[in-house]
Chains A and B, each alone.
Chain A
Amino acid sequence: MSTREERHTVTFEINGARKTVAAEARRLLVHLIREDLGLTGTHVGCDTSQCGACTVEIDGLAVKSCTVLAVSAEGASITTIEGLTPGTDLDPIQAAFHEHHALQCGFCTPGMVMSVRQLLKDQPAPSEHDIRRGLAGNICRCTGYHNIVRAVESLASKGEQS
């Protein structure tokens, strides 16, 4: 049997819970998250790392989880979309998306929200241009981005203006 099917044990923290999972060497983190852990809010929209639907947070950084091998998550701390809404209250980014009608089919939305988190961490008061640049890794086919930009602007204006 070739090594790609060999299984390795990975231990990491996800949405605050510690997990140990056995994964094939070739398994992508996104598949581990979706299939082994059942956290299906993280989506797969492409196979060339273009769409951003799979974006999660790894050790405080937004990462496309389809670009990460599951085995390399050893020791990592991961947050997925489910980690933002443990109860029934939306976090401020999610609430802004609702307020500004920044989602239609919702397929891009979890990845988009995770990228917006990173964007606002990097630039608490981004301009429209910064927002559009900052979301370049995420494709949305429904909204034309217009209301996503409005949602992010509404969050930015609450911070300091640069």
Chain B
Amino acid sequence: MSQAPAIRQIGQPLRRREDFKLLAGKGRYVDDIKLPGMLHMAVLRSPHAHARIGRVDLSAARSAPGVRLALSGQALDGKIGPIRPNWIIPGSKVPSRPVIAIDRVRFVGECVALVVAETLAEAYDAVGLIDVDYEVLPAVTDEEVAVRDGAPQLHDNVPGNITTIYKVRGGDYQKVSREADHVIGLRVVNNRLIPTCMETRAIVAAPELDGTLTVYIGSQVPHMHRRWIAETVGIPEHQLRVVAPDIGGGFGAKMHLYSEDLLCPYLARELGAPVKWWESRSESHQSTSHGRAHTERIEVAFTNEGKILGLKVETLGNVGAYLSNMASGGPTVNTVNFGTGTYKIDNYEAISRVVVTNTVPVDAYRGYGRPEGAYIAERAIDAVARHLKLDQVEVRRKNFVQPAEFPYRPYGSMGVMYDSGNYQGLLDKALAAFDYDRRRSECEALRGSGIYRGIGVAAYTHMCGMAPSRRLAVSGFDRGGWESARVSIDSSGRATIYSGSMSQGQGHITSLSQIAADVLQIPIENIEVVQGDTRQVQAGHGTFNSRSMAVGGSSVHVSSQRIVAKAKKIAASMLEVDEKDVSYSAGAFSVPGTDIPPVTFSKVARMAYVGHKLPDRLEPGLDETVFYDPTGMGSPSGVHLAYVEVDPETGIVDILDYVAVDDVGTLINPRLAAGQIHGGVVQGIAQALYEEVSYDADNGQLLTGSLLDYAVPRAEHVPNIRSLFQETPSPTNPIGVKGIGESGSIAAPPCMVHAVLDAVSPFGITHLDMPLTPPRIWAAVQEARKGAGQ
């Protein structure tokens, strides 16, 4: 057996243990699964944004070659469904959502009918033979239009198209806005996005001989999917096995409950055969949840010196045609709670309205609500700097929450607490890495020669790992905040970790091993990690809200500690000394100050299983399961800086440099952490510069229906990302980790927008909405030149 590690594994930039099979093309994603006798489902989707369904004629489809079954919504009415959200903000009006539309469709892409056939090609062919009569109704796609009088109404129980009204208040905004030297208002749009995991959704449901059902699904939350499928399809939860194999990215989109997740299990049981569904990319654009889609009206009150006195926010969160899984929580708790960002703004007033429209349902996408919240705070403070012609950095410094103020409750909030941080430290580190002063003068100097460069700054903080469980009850979230880990030691002293977290590319096999290795003091190669199988992993909540290291990692840490505690008892008995005299280091139990020879961890493990010499009343075995419920949430923070050049003649933005300084608490693996920042920042740059879902406002047609017209950036569209860290450990968990996955996509959008606005400021442009595409920038420059009579 190899020697115990001499160095602490947490903090080491280890290379990933999971890479080999993925590099060799031996990964196993759901679409790679092929079972004997497997049938294929294809779905007919609504071509209309809003319509009444008349007759659905399935006869031609039913008699097509290879077809086993064709169904419309009517046939399933009362059998399975409806699809219930998992997070329902108290007071929300929840529209009923059938698994397949019954008498009305409410967005382009909604399921109308399905076919199961022997091959996928036959299923597609037969779907083309289904004939549906529609009576087209007026549609509404925009959240501002949907709340107007006379707008088309989507659901009888959702008057005015508003499902939820959520208010937050602290201090007295009205009072400070009367007394302030300045009050300015702005309206910002948080553009609708498509998460675009490179692996689209897929599902295989397979009935087993023993009467159970196995469901293979690329799920970020396998145990949640087990519960939801069980409850919605009517299968006893213990007879359902959910397996999440390799997942090709999730970003929030693979943590919801979709129609197909329910249809495959139902049909597999009906037909007694495995049923597979695979989503084509174009289908994905109209069936997998979208992200963002907000309009915010902001008012900010401040002094002549640039000190912000108060902030007022009105959010309209477009959630599409139904309330998806977490949809009522996104524009509300997750957005406006965080509207003051890293700044000390004691007087805050916010109201969020959750709005249904004839569009694809909107739900969590990398950051969910926190990017929208940070965008509010950042666009507001940038507007203050612009208004007063103050330096954007100094205004931020003046308003930052100070290090001594942590733990900090913004605007006296009961729900929000930032556990720790040092925003000044982040800013200083970022400015130094960026060479801010030199670049500032460079920008000014170049402007004279017709070169328009700009610097963007953005700071953020948020909260990760939704917990503790009892607090989630208050906000109507029907799940716990804990995570489960089982550490099982075999008779040779090697470990298997069964973790309820779920990697979709984050590298948990490596990072969770590092956490366990430090406590168990055994080599990384002696640790295996199992995730994504509800038959193997006892319980879990999965991966979202940057919770896997803070909550999932902590649960591995605590269960490893319990292993060591029990092993110590066994060692004491083997050494024939009192437990309190035993110490554990470098993988061996010894009795300091004596010449008793130490016993190794592997010897103790063997003893745990043979049970020959255990202390009285101690059970054999070395196997511990923990349900770790955190006491609070960690708050990552960061300051990002971007340097851009804008060509006013073409509107093209060239990103010259991007520096990210993030404080995500203790770094488990700096290499993987930087990778999370790179990916997140690029998704944020994508939102700022390239990506936007477009709908035809008249008829509700999705205009960005494929990757041909939805602009996911390629390598040449993005810069190198210089990722640096500051480590302020979180006091909320035993490893001090805060969460990292969402940081980049929170910070980058405002950072990029500010950089571009700075670059075009000589034209007098003070506002632009994302995405800052060349035509949009070019038009703004033309407009400004016209206004200036140039």
Contacts and interface: CB of A to CB of B under 8 A. Distances in A.
Q: Do A and B bind each other?
A: yes
Interface of A: 5, 24, 26, 34-35, 38-48, 50-51, 53, 80-82, 84-85, 88, 90, 94, 97-99, 101, 103-110, 113, 128-129, 131-133, 135-149
Contact of B675 (A88, A90, A104): A104
Given A98-B20, A104-B506, A141-B197, A146 B25 contact: no
Nearest to B681: A144
B505 A105 contact: yes
A10 B674 CA distance: 46
7 contacts: A40-B28, A107-B27, A113-B23, A131-B715, A135-B714, A145-B678, A146-B720
A96 to B, nearest CB: 10
A104 B505 CA distance: 4
A93 to B, nearest CB: 9
A124 B24 CA distance: 23
B246 interface: yes
Given A50-B708, A105-B199, A106-B248, A136 B24 contact: no
Interface in B684-735: 706-708, 712, 714-716, 718, 720-721
A90 B251 contact: no
Contact of A97 (B23, B505, B678): B23
Nearest to A135: B715
Interface residues of B, number: 55
A46 B281 contact: yes
Given A101-B16, A104-B505, A144-B682, A45 B23 contact: no
Contacts of B197: 105, 107, 141
B778 interface: no
B199 A82 contact: no
Interface in B256-283: 280-282
A145 B15 contact: no
B522 to A, nearest CB: 23
A39 B25 contact: yes
B29 A107 contact: yes
Given A132-B715, A148-B715, A106 B20 contact: no
B160 interface: no
Interface of B: 15-16, 18-20, 22-29, 31-32, 34, 121, 196-200, 246-249, 251, 280-282, 504-507, 671-672, 674-675, 678-683, 706-708, 712, 714-716, 718, 720-721, 744
Which of A38, A81, A138: most chain B CB closer than 10 A? A81
A47 B706 contact: yes
A108 B15 contact: no
Contacts of A53: 198
A143 B507 CA distance: 12
Contacts of B280: 47
A80 B281 contact: no
Contact of B716 (A5, A99, A133): A133
Nearest to A50: B707
Given A41-B25, A45-B281, A101-B16, A143 B675 contact: yes
Which of B25, B674, B681, B716: most chain A CB closer than 10 A? B25
A108 B767 CA distance: 37
Contact of B281 (A39, A48, A131, A147): A48
Contact of B16 (A84, A98, A142, A146): A98
Contacts of A142: 198, 249, 505, 675, 679
Given A82-B26, A110-B25, A139-B198, 12 more contacts: A34-B31, A40-B32, A48-B706, A50-B708, A81-B24, A84-B24, A98-B16, A104-B507, A110-B23, A138-B715, A141-B196, A144-B721
Contacts of A5: 121
Nearest to B685: A144
A48 to B, nearest CB: 5
A110 B246 CA distance: 14
B123 to A, nearest CB: 14
B679 A136 contact: no
B367 to A, nearest CB: 15
Given A53-B198, A101-B16, A106-B505, A44 B27 contact: no
B681 to A, nearest CB: 6
B24 A48 contact: no
A128 B715 CA distance: 10
A82 B22 contact: no
A21 to B, nearest CB: 15
A45 B716 CA distance: 19
Contacts of A149: 715, 720
B679 A106 contact: no
Contacts of B678: 143-147
A83 to B, nearest CB: 9
Given A39-B25, A85-B25, A145-B718, A45 B198 contact: yes
A47 B251 contact: no
A34 B30 CA distance: 13
A47 B198 contact: no
Contacts of A88: 20
Contacts of B504: 105
Contact of B15 (A82, A99, A144, A146): A99
A82 B23 CA distance: 9
Contact of A107 (B19, B198, B707): B198
Lowest 5 CB-CB distances: which A-B pairs, in order? A41-B25, A106-B22, A107-B248, A105-B505, A144-B682
A24 B120 CA distance: 13
Contacts of B507: 104
Given A80-B25, A107-B29, A144-B678, A98 B15 contact: yes
A149 B681 CA distance: 16
A104 B198 contact: no
A153 B672 CA distance: 19
A98 B437 CA distance: 38
A70 B672 CA distance: 39
A85 B25 CA distance: 9
A47 B281 contact: yes
A131 B24 CA distance: 22
Contacts of A41: 24-27
A81 B25 contact: yes
Contact of B199 (A42, A45, A48, A98): A45
Contacts of B15: 98-99, 101
Which of A26, A38, A105, A146: most chain B CB closer than 10 A? A105
Nearest to B721: A146
Which of B15, B198, B507, B674: most chain A CB closer than 10 A? B198
Nearest to A46: B281
A46 to B, nearest CB: 4
Contacts of A129: 716
Contact of B682 (A38, A42, A44, A145): A145
A78 to B, nearest CB: 13
A98 B19 contact: yes
B279 to A, nearest CB: 10
Given A46-B281, A144-B679, A148-B715, A106 B27 contact: yes
Contacts of A139: 198, 707, 712, 714
Which of B506, B682, B706: most chain A CB closer than 10 A? B682
A89 B219 CA distance: 31
B246 A106 contact: yes
A26 B125 CA distance: 12
Contacts of B714: 132, 135-139, 145
Contacts of A51: 198, 281, 707
Contacts of A147: 675, 678
A132 B716 contact: yes
Which of B15, B251, B678: most chain A CB closer than 10 A? B678
A46 B675 contact: no
B653 to A, nearest CB: 16
B249 A101 contact: no
Nearest to B195: A141
A20 B19 CA distance: 33
Contacts of B27: 41, 106-107
Nearest to A98: B19
B19 A103 contact: yes
Given A144-B682, A149-B720, A109 B23 contact: yes
